[in-house]
C-alpha cells in the first residue's frame, strides 16, 4: 500500500492507476463516460457484515434495515437484498421500489414525516414490519386507513429523545427543535388510547439520533431513553414492546488522508474523521440497558425483544466512488491582503461533476476526498482550486461563503490538465440519490462491480430525450 486511502482488495493503486475491486477506474470512465458512479458489491457486503457483528454483542435478535434514502438505484437495492439485509424506506416511492426489488413486507420499515393516504395504504396492504409513526395525527390516519381496508397495521412510534451530537446541524434529528417524531408523553398517551384497537398493532418504538454521529456513546443514551419509555409504556398500558429501533447514523471516515490536507478546518475534522465500530456502540448501549433493566427489576422486558438498526451511510458511502474528468483549467492571480498586493496564483480545475451530482457539497459544505485516478500512486503535493461545471457560483469545492468550512484547495499531483480522470472517494451515500438535471445535465451512469469482479452497468447515462421525458 502506498497511499493512505488504499483498502486492500478494494481500493488499490496498480501501475499508478486507481483500481476498484481489481477493475481499472480509468477504463470504466472511458467505457461509460464521466461523471460516473462506481459501487463495489464486495464492499457493501463487508460493511453489512461489519454492522451485523452487533448481533453477537446483544442477547436478542438483530434486524438490520438499510436506509434506502442513502441510494435506492434498483441494482443497489437488489445487492442489499442479496446480502440478506432488510430495508428502511421514506416514501411510497421507495416502498414501491423496495417491493419491486424483491423485499417482502416483513423486511420493510417505513419512516417519514408527511405520509399520504396512498402511501399508508400501500404499507398496510403490503403488511410491512412497521410503519414508523411521526405524530398522533398520523397514527389516527393509519388507524382509519387500516379500518377501511379491514386490516391491522404494524406501527412503531418515533420519539424525540433530545440527544444532541456534534454532527452537522442539518443532520441532527433528535432534538426538540428538529422536525421529527413525537414527544414521549404523546407516545405514552397513544399507547393507552390505542391499546385495544383492532386495527393497530403497537409493536415498537423508534428514534434516530442523526447522521454521521461522531460519539459512540450517544447510542447508549438513546437506548436508555428508549428502555425507560418501554418500561413506562408497560406500566401504563400493559403493552410489551416487541421491537426497539435505534436508527442509523454510524459515521464514515471521510478524511483518509487528513495529514496531507493541512488546510482542513480543524472545527470540521472531528465530524468528518469520525470512526468507531458500530458493534462497540451497540455493545455499550446493550450493556447499560441490561444493567438498568436488572436494577429496576424489569429484565423480562428485554426478553422476546428485537433490536433494529437502520444504517445507510455506513453501508454505502465508502462503497461508492465518483469519477470525473477535468474539462477546463485556468490560472487566477490571488490577492489576500487589504492592499490587494498579488500574493500568489491559483490553478483552477473545472470538472464535469457538480452539486447536481454531489448536492451536499453545496447544502452542507460536505467534503469528499479527491485523488487522481490516472496517477493514483503519485504524491498529491500541488494545491488546486476546484469547481464543477454548473452555471452557479456556488458550484465549487471550497467554502464560497468564506466561512472556511472546507479547505480552500485540493491537493493533487502536479500538472493536472484537461482530460485527466479524478476520483471522489466515499461518494456513495446521499449523492446519486439526490441528483438533478440542473443546467440540462444528464444523470450519470452507475456501475456496480460484482463480487466476481465483473463491472455491471446498473443505471445508464441519460440522453437528450431523458431531459424532456416528463414534460408535456
Ligand atoms: C430515520 C432515519 N433512519 C436512518 C437514517 C440513516 O442514517 P445514516 O445514513 O447516517 O446511517 C436516516 C438518515 O438520516 C434517518 O433519517
Quickly list DSSP for 292-339. Answer: HHHHTT-GGGGTT-EEEE--SHHHHSTTEEEEEEEEEEEEEEEE-STT
Ligand 1 atom 14 nearest Cα: 211
178 Cα–ligand 1 center, Å: 14
Tens of pLDDT along 86-119?
A: 999 999 999 999 999 999 999 999 999 999 999 9
154 contacts 131 by C-beta, under 8 angstroms: yes
Q: Where are the beta strands (DSSP E) in 21-178?
A: 23-24, 36-40, 62-67, 86-89, 108-110, 130-133, 153-158
Q: Is the CB of 314 under 6 A from ligand 1?
A: yes
Residue length, the chain? 472
Higher model confidence: residue 312 or residue 263? Answer: 312
CA distance 392 to 331: 19
pLDDT band at residue 267 using 50, 70 and 90 as cut-offs: confident
User: Ligand 1 test: best mutation among 88, 250, 310, most atoms within 8 Å of CB?
Assistant: 310
36-40 and 23-24: which strand pairing? unpaired
- Are the C-beta atoms of 321 and 38 separated by less than 8 Å? yes
pLDDT at 162 over 80: no
Ligand 1 and 211: CB distance under 6 A: yes
Cα–ligand 1 centroid distance for 286 (angstroms): 20
Residue 398: predicted pLDDT: 95
Are the CB atoms for 288 and 220 separated by under 8 Å? Answer: yes
Q: From the CB of 251, is ligand 1 less than 6 Å away?
A: no
Q: What percent of the chain has pLDDT above 70?
A: 94
d(CA 141, CA 116): 9
Dihedral of CA 119/124/130/132: which sign? Answer: positive
β-pairing verdict for 243-245 and 306-309? parallel
Share of the chain above pLDDT 90, in %: 88
Q: How far from chain centre, in Å, is Cα 442?
A: 23
Q: Is the pLDDT of residue 173 over 80?
A: no
Q: Is 389 in the pocket of ligand 1 (CB under 6 A)?
A: no
Cβ of 94 less than 6 Å from ligand 1: no
User: Which candidate, 9, 18, 115, 14, places its Cα nearest to that of 424?
Assistant: 18
Would the CB of 320 count as within 6 Å of ligand 1? Answer: no
Distance 67 CA to ligand 1 centre (A): 6
Give catalytic residues, as residue numbers: 391
Give the Cα separation of 181 and 196 in Å (integer).
23
Residues 6 or more apart whose Cβ sits within 8 Å of residue 81: 87, 101, 102, 103, 107
Report the nearest atom of ligand 1 relative to the CA of 211.
Answer: 10
Amino acid at each position: 500500500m502506498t497511499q493512505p486511502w488504499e483498502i486492500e482488495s478494494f481500493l488499490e493503486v496498480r501501475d499508478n492507476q486507481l483500481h476498484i475491486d481489481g477493475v481499472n477506474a480509468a477504463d470504466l470512465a472511458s467505457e461509460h463516460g464521466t461523471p460516473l458512479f462506481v459501487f463495489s458489491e464486495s464492499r457493501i457486503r463487508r460493511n453489512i457484515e461489519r454492522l451485523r457483528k452487533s448481533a453477537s454483542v446483544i442477547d436478542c435478535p438483530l434486524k438490520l434495515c438499510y436506509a434506502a434514502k442513502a441510494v435506492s438505484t434498483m441494482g443497489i437495492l437488489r445487492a442489499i437484498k442479496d446480502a440478506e439485509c432488510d430495508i428502511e424506506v421514506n416514501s411510497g416511492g421507495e416502498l414501491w421500489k423496495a417491493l419491486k426489488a424483491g423485499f417482502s413486507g416483513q423486511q420493510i420499515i417505513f419512516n417519514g414525516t408527511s405520509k399520504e393516504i396512498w402511501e399508508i395504504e400501500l404499507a398496510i396492504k403490503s403488511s410491512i414490519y412497521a410503519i414508523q409513526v411521526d405524530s398522533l395525527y398520523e397514527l389516527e390516519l393509519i388507524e382509519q386507513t387500516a379500518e377501511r381496508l379491514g386490516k391491522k397495521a404494524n406501527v412503531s412510534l418515533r420519539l424525540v429523545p433530545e440527544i444532541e451530537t456534534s454532527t452537522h446541524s442539518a443532520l441532527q434529528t433528535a432534538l426538540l427543535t428538529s422536525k421529527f417524531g413525537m414527544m414521549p408523553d404523546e407516545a405514552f398517551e397513544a399507547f393507552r388510547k390505542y391499546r385495544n384497537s383492532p386495527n393497530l398493532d403497537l409493536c415498537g418504538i423508534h428514534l434516530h439520533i442523526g447522521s454521521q454521529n461522531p460519539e459512540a456513546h450517544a447510542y447508549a443514551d438513546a437506548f436508555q431513553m428508549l428502555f425507560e419509555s418501554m418500561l413506562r409504556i408497560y406500566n401504563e398500558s400493559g403493552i410489551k414492546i416487541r421491537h426497539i429501533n435505534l436508527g442509523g447514523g454510524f459515521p464514515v471516515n471521510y478524511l483518509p488522508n487528513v495529514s496531507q490536507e493541512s488546510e482542513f478546518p480543524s472545527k470540521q475534522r472531528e465530524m468528518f474523521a469520525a470512526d468507531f465500530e458500530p458493534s462497540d456502540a451497540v455493545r455499550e448501549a446493550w450493556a447499560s440497558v441490561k444493567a438498568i433493566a436488572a436494577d429496576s427489576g424489569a429484565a423480562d422486558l428485554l426478553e422476546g425483544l428485537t433490536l433494529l438498526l437502520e444504517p445507510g451511510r455506513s453501508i454505502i458511502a465508502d462503497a461508492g466512488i465518483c469519477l470525473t474528468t477535468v474539462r477546463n483549467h485556468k490560472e487566477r492571480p490571488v490577492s489576500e491582503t487589504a492592499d490587494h498586493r498579488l500574493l500568489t496564483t491559483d490553478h483552477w480545475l473545472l470538472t464535469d461533476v457538480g452539486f447536481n451530482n454531489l448536492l451536499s457539497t453545496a447544502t452542507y459544505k460536505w467534503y469528499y476526498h479527491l485523488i487522481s485516478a490516472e496517477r493514483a500512486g503519485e504524491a498529491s503535493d500541488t494545491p488546486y482550486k476546484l469547481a464543477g461545471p454548473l452555471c452557479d457560483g456556488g458550484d465549487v469545492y471550497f467554502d464560497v461563503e468564506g466561512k472556511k468550512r472546507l479547505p480552500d484547495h485540493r491537493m493533487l499531483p502536479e500538472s493536472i490538465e484537461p482530460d485527466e480522470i479524478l476520483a471522489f472517494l466515499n461518494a456513495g451515500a446521499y449523492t446519486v440519490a439526490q441528483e438533478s438535471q440542473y443546467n440540462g445535465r444528464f444523470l450519470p451512469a452507475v456501475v456496480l462491480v460484482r463480487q466476481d469482479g465483473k463491472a455491471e452497468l446498473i443505471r445508464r447515462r441519460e440522453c437528450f430525450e431523458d431531459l424532456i421525458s416528463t414534460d408535456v
